[in-house]
Amino acid sequence: MDHWRGKWALITGASAGIGQALAEQLAEAGAHLILTARRSERLEVLAEKLTRQYGVRIKIFPADLTRPAAPDDVFAFTEKQRLEVDLLVLNAGFGTYGPFSTSDRTRQLAMVQVNVAAVVALTHLYLPGMIDRRHGEVLIVSSTAAFQGLPYFATYAATKAFDLLFAEALAEEVRGYGLRVCALCPGRTVTEFQKVAGGPRRHKQQAKSAAEVARVGLQALAHGRSYTISGVVNYLHTHAQRFVPRRLVTGMAAKNLRPPA
């Protein structure tokens, strides 16, 4: 973790869950932080706490990534502050649960904006500077949902599949410049995701803590992996699907997630 000491890390979705855990672990490692999320009051509380505990420098910039212009606003802020971002953590994202055909289309498109478009925009803004400097890293928070179609979470799973493939491709593109890109794929995690998405509450006992997931992601990034799955059970379950017909996998997921009649 000393790898990031004294460097600036930009974290989206930093006000809760995995984003907050990533901020805490990077601050403990001595990284300076730029924290962004919608809820400014949570960012202020977190920044005050981490500054007091670890003595690192912290900047906050509230931003709503459902706005297409938000990535440019974030970038303009860091440029104005003359902050050299060495670690870009793209954690912001959300899901919605239920039949796609009766879902709120505005909400579905907002999910694509945050989970996909903002990831592409922010990476495109910060990657050229990293290439010029020949150092820098990008951590994109995907999901184990990325490995199969997920009925009743159809758009969410599709956006996370994009994040995974995007990260893996970029990891190879920029490896020659000394840069690292990694997709972190958590399974069930103790965060606000379930509350926001409104999905079924099942298998709570298997959920990992946000701190555990954050640690796995940072370790994988530091070791130069292009993706990582948090938890041995999640890893085995995800890769076992390769040996099963895809239709059967989505069928089993549909049975598991189908809303009550």
Q: What was the pLDDT predicted at 202?
A: 53
| Statement: residue 217 has pLDDT above 80 | yes
Question: Where are any strands of DSSP class E within the chain?
Answer: 8-12, 32-36, 58-60, 85-90, 137-141, 180-185, 189-190, 208-209, 227-229
Q: What was the pLDDT predicted at 200?
A: 62
Task: Name 185's bridge partners.
Answer: 229
| Statement: residue 185 has pLDDT above 80 | yes
Q: What is the pLDDT of residues 101-142, one digit of tens each?
A: 999 999 999 999 999 999 999 999 999 999 999 999 999 999
Coil, strand, or helix at residue 185?
strand
N residues, the chain: 261
For a pLDDT cut of 70, what percent of the chain falls above it?
93
d(CA 17, CA 103): 25
Question: What is the mean pLDDT of the segment spanning 220-237?
Answer: 91
- Which of the two residues, 243 and 216, has the higher pLDDT score? 216
Catalytic residue numbers read 156
| Statement: residue 43 has pLDDT above 90 | yes
- Which of the two residues, 252 and 65, has the higher pLDDT score? 65
| Statement: residue 207 has pLDDT above 80 | no
Task: Name 35's bridge partners.
Answer: 11, 60
Superfamily of the domain at 2-257: NAD(P)-binding Rossmann-like Domain (3.40.50.720)
Task: Tell me which long-range contacts 235-238 makes (C-beta under 8 A, separation of at least 24).
Answer: 237/144, 237/187, 238/144, 238/147, 238/185
Q: What was the pLDDT predicted at 160?
A: 98
Q: What was the pLDDT predicted at 205?
A: 47
User: What mean pLDDT, rounded, does the chain reach?
Assistant: 91
Task: Give kind and range of the element (H or E) at residue 195.
Answer: helix 193-197
- 10 Å Cβ neighbour count for 38? 15
Question: What is the mean pLDDT of the segment spanning 217-238?
Answer: 91
Coil, strand, or helix at residue 29?
coil
Q: What is the pTM of this model?
A: 0.90
Label residue 260 by pLDDT band (50, 70, 90): confident
Question: What is the mean pLDDT of the segment spanning 159-180?
Answer: 98
> Order of strands across the sheet with 32-36?
58-60, 32-36, 8-12, 85-90, 137-141, 180-185, 227-229
Range with the poorest average pLDDT among 76-80, 198-202, 235-239: 198-202
Per-residue b/e over 142-179, b at no fewer than 16 CB within 10 Å? bbbbbbbbbbbbbbbbbbbbbbbebbbebbeebeeeeb
Query: Cβ(43)–Cβ(62) under 8 Å?
Result: yes
Type of residue found at 207: A
